[in-house]
A and B are shown apart, each in its own frame.
Chain A
Amino acid sequence: MALDALDPITAARVVLVLALLAGALFFTFVSMTGVIRLPDVYARAHTASQADTLGAGFGLAAVALTLGWQGASVKTAILLFFVFVTNPTAAHAVARAAFEDGNVPWTEGDERR
């Protein structure tokens, strides 16, 4: 079956899945860039918790949309909710551990990279 021979709903789903996948890859790429480029653990935690959560969210939404209405996509929804709750909590725990270890956040002019 080619894309233009499909009924409009399925075609829209396919297009949406492709768009979500592209979004997922883009934001995960941002996350990776941030984790590599940013100067200290706090700044890295930003992208690790946010861009990555959004990337994972888009990816999981693409999966749910591909699977359609069945039990497995309920699991994907649970996974989505779970990622959105736990990712910031984990980032908070890591940042707080760094803070309690006495890690001074990097500011402009700091040599450390």
Chain B
Amino acid sequence: MSIADVAVAGGYTLGDVLLAGAAGFVVLALGMLYRAVVGPTMQDRVLAVNVLGTNTVVILALLGAALDEPTFLDIAIVYALLNFLMAIAVSKFTVERGGVL
């Protein structure tokens, strides 16, 4: 059973705290977006987007727990899979003749 609706302090439930945590992750993601925009190399951008993707997965999971929506976790799993594939594929195809992996 979920404990998301247990009150923690000042009338806020644990779910609210998790939502706040997710908001914190969004703020941190904005910082990483800086690297994705500035680069300078292609690999820097891929790396930043990969980290952003991992962040998104955590945000999705936190929202799923806070709002009691377990289906969000399925989306998070698919997102994690796609994120991994993205990093591998871009690394592979930015190198000439694809020597990576």
Contact = CB atoms under 8 A, between A and B. Distances in A.
Are A and B bound to each other? yes
Nearest to A112: B40
B35 A103 contact: no
Contacts of A35: 31-32, 35, 47-48, 51
A69 B81 CA distance: 24
B80 A83 contact: yes
B28 to A, nearest CB: 5
Interface of A: 1-3, 6, 10, 13-14, 17-18, 21, 24-25, 28-29, 31-33, 35-36, 41, 44-45, 48, 52-53, 55-56, 59-60, 62-63, 66-72, 75-76, 78-79, 82-83, 86-87, 89-91, 93-98, 100-101, 103
Given A35-B48, A94-B43, 7 more contacts: A3-B8, A31-B28, A35-B47, A63-B64, A78-B77, A90-B91, A94-B47
